[in-house]
Structure formats: C-alpha cells, structure tokens
Chains A and B, each alone.
Chain A
Amino acid sequence: AQSVTQLDSQVPVFEEAPVELRCNYSSSVSVYLFWYVQYPNQGLQLLLKYLSGSTLVESINGFEAEFNKSQTSFHLRKPSVHISDTAEYFCAVTSSNTGKLIFGQGTTLQVKP
C-alpha cells in the first residue's frame, strides 16, 4: 500500500527566508508525485507535479521540488518566501495502476513579517 508522510505539521518562517517542506512516500510501484496548496477558505490548487523526466520540477511562483527515488522523498523548497505564501501544503502520490491520490497530513506554512 502507498502512504505519504509530511514530517512537519507547522513550519513558521520569517519573510524572505528560505523554506523546505518535507515529504516522504512509500510505494512498491512507480509513482506520480504532487504538491497542492490550500489558501484559507479555499479548495486545493495544484502547485507542481512530477510525472517523469527531470527530477527537479518548478512552479510559476518560485517553488521547486526534487524527486529523489533512492530516498523516496519529494521535498518542497523556496529560496525566499512571501507573506502571501502562508497556506497549507499537501504532498500527494498516485501510482500508474490506481490513479487514486494518497495525501499526506498537510504542513501549515506560517510566514511572519
């Protein structure tokens, strides 16, 4: 069975500081990996995804994540955060066999001025 673990439930950080949100997964088959973001009182929006090819993927608002197969990780990073990045972030995995998304518990990123 697949599972996703987000190692931090809350990450407080000051504005313009770098941040890393950690995600580890377990799966016995090939996977597709996703990061979703949920702003207050909204649904989830796709931030970035890894399907195949380059293991480093980027979003349009400066986030990036690297697929590390040997460490079964897909950590999310941003070199300099803004107040507007305050949100909850979910890591998710699906396999080519099922199509069902398995979500981690979520990490709340709190950016302080």
Chain B
Amino acid sequence: DVKVTQSSRYLVKRTGEKVFLECVQDMDHENMFWYRQDPGLGLRLIYFSYDVKMKEKGDIPEGYSVSREKKERFSLILESASTNQTSMYLCASSHAIVEQYFGPGTRLTVT
C-alpha cells in the first residue's frame, strides 16, 4: 500500500527558530512536493523535486528551502520561522506526472 509519512503531526515553534519538516515515501516515486494549506486558499505549492538533489520553486517559495539527498526523503526547511508561516503543511509524492499521494500533514504553529 502506498505510504507517505511526515515526521510530526503537530509542531509548535518560536519566531526566528529554524524548523525542519521531514517527509518519507516508500513507493520509489521520483516526484515529491511540499504544499501549505490555509482556509479559503486551498493548497499552494511551495517546492517540488523531480529527482534526487533537484528542486524547483513552486508558487510560494519565499521563506522556505528544501533538501532531497535521498530519493525517498524530502525535507522542508524554514530558515527563520515567522508567525505568517503558521499553517498545515502537506507532503506528496508521485510517479510520472499525474496522481499524487499525500501524507497526513503537519500542523505548524509559530508563536
């Protein structure tokens, strides 16, 4: 069965902290994605990766970076967390360019 896991379901961090969100998939998918979900805005793409060590900016990359050192793992990094980054973060993976499989999400609160 397809599985995407995220390191934390809930996370509380202070303004200015460096935050790491981890995502692991066990399906040997080449594509991985990070989204943030906010009420009334749907899901917005932050970064995605089509291969190891490869990354591309999505629609809202400002304030975020990513790392993909291994095929199964895709990390989202908030270099200096701010309150406007309080949100639900969803990771997804896919094979080829269609159907994406999502993790359960990490609800991040920055205080």
Checking B40, B94, B102 against A45 with a beta-carbon cut-off of 8 angstroms, the contacting residue is B102
- Residues of B participating in the A interface, judged by any CB pair closer than 8 Å: 4, 31, 33, 35, 40-45, 48, 58, 90, 92, 94, 96-105
Report how many A-B pairs have Cβ atoms within 8 Å.
53
Q: In whole angstroms, what is the CA distance A100 to B58 when docked? A: 9
Interface size class, chain A: 20 to 34
**Residues of chain B with a CB closer than 8 A to A96's CB:** 97
Please determine whether A32 and B98 come into contact, CB atoms closer than 8 angstroms: yes
Pairs A-B, 9 closest by C-beta atoms: A99-B97, A43-B102, A103-B42, A44-B102, A103-B43, A105-B42, A43-B104, A106-B42, A43-B105
* Residues of chain B lying within 8 A (CB to CB) of residue A103: 35, 42-44
Would you give the 0/1 interface string for A23-54, flagging 1 where the beta carbon is closer than 8 Å to chain B?
00000000010101000001111100101000
A107 to chain B, nearest CB (A): 10
